[in-house]
């Protein structure tokens, strides 16, 4: 099958994706299909993975905030005098909020970057005029253009909702998950899931994330009798880190079968903890 045929067939496959409604649930979110079935978000499931690097990072952010406040108080005299323990507690309380504020700012930036990338990709797919890049997103979009120049991807879809339903497992009453794929490309005759990141690095959960997305599209392709190819399509996925301070691109190519298998284990842990299966007495007999 030549590349043009793969592009055509992959687009036909993506056209068969059923839209889902996204709803907030607890501290995560779920996708809901037309029958009312809920699919846990891939990123919500992956929150079960410990992220030890966040602890020293959060400590550093809080201490930097305290340092900033004290420097302004002592050196510049721009703050009211510290007269009581309440004043000290107020400074510490404000500093403790800093990590969440930084993460929120980074999340807002990432959302804006993803929204603009989606518009650019759709404009290129439909041969339409591309949107103007805001000044604050110029560097990350320069990184995106660098990616396009280096890898010459053929975009066939953007912001594609995918979902997967498996049979019930020993510890999982309903094993369903869903997520939104940043982009699907065809590169050298192969359909590939691409996930763009504006974070400082590429982490294990990113690799598991694209493994889950790829597995969902692989299963959809099977349901549609191999329309996008029968020789294991979506067996490789790309995590693409786009620089936001300097124009740069890093592409991590992930073999999706082992990354999905690891995601599946994370999902077992997530659901087992959620459903308190580990508290059932029969597990200890």
48-88 per-position pLDDT tens digit: 886 655 566 566 666 677 677 767 765 666 666 666 777 77
Where is average pLDDT lowest: 112-121, 173-182, 269-278?
A: 269-278
CA atoms within 13 A on the CB side of 159: 14
Count Cβ atoms below 10 Å from residue 125 Cβ, excluding itself. 15
Segments making up each domain of the chain, as ranges: 3-49+114-279
CA distance 153 to 133: 21
Mean residue pLDDT across the chain: 84
pLDDT at 170: 47
Give me the mean pLDDT over the 5-25 stretch: 91
Q: What is the CA radius of gyration of the chain?
A: 22
Q: Taking the complete model, does pTM exceed 0.85, yes or no?
A: no
Contacts of 197 (CB under 8 A, 6+ apart): 110, 206, 239, 240, 241, 242
Residue 255 CA: distances (Å) to CA of 18, 104, 194, 202, 280: 26, 31, 13, 15, 36
CATH architecture of 3-49+114-279: Alpha-Beta Complex (3.90)
């Amino acid at each position: 099958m030549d590349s043009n045929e793969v592009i055509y067939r992959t687009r036909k496959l993506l056209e068969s994706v059923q839209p889902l409604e996204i709803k907030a649930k607890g501290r995560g979110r779920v996708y809901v299909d037309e029958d009312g079935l809920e699919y846990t978000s891939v990123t919500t499931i992956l929150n079960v993975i410990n992220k030890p690097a966040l602890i020293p990072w959060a400590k550093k952010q809080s201490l930097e905030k305290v340092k900033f406040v004290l420097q302004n108080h002592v050196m510049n005299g721009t703050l009211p005098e510290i007269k009581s323990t309440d004043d000290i507690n107020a400074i510490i309380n404000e500093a403790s909020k800093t990590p969440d504020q930084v993460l929120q700012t980074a999340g807002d930036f990432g959302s804006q970057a993803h929204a603009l990338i989606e518009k650019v990709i759709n404009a290129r797919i439909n041969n339409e005029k591309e949107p103007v890049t805001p000044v604050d997103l110029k560097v990350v979009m320069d990184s995106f253009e660098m990616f396009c120049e280096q890898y010459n991807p053929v975009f066939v879809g953007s912001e594609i909702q995918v979902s997967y339903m498996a049979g019930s497992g020993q510890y999982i009453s309903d094993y369903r998950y869903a997520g939104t794929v940043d982009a699907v490309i065809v590169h050298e005759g192969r359909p590939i899931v691409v996930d763009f990141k504006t974070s400082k690095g590429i982490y294990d959960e990113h690799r598991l994330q694209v493994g889950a997305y790829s597995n969902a599209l692989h299963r959809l392709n099977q349901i549609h009798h191999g329309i996008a190819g029968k020789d294991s399509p979506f067996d490789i996925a790309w995590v693409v880190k786009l620089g936001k301070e300097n124009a740069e691109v890093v592409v991590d190519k992930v073999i999706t079968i082992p990354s999905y298998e690891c995601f599946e284990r994370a999902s077992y842990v997530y659901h087992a903890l959620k459903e308190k299966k580990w508290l059932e007495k029969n597990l200890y007999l």
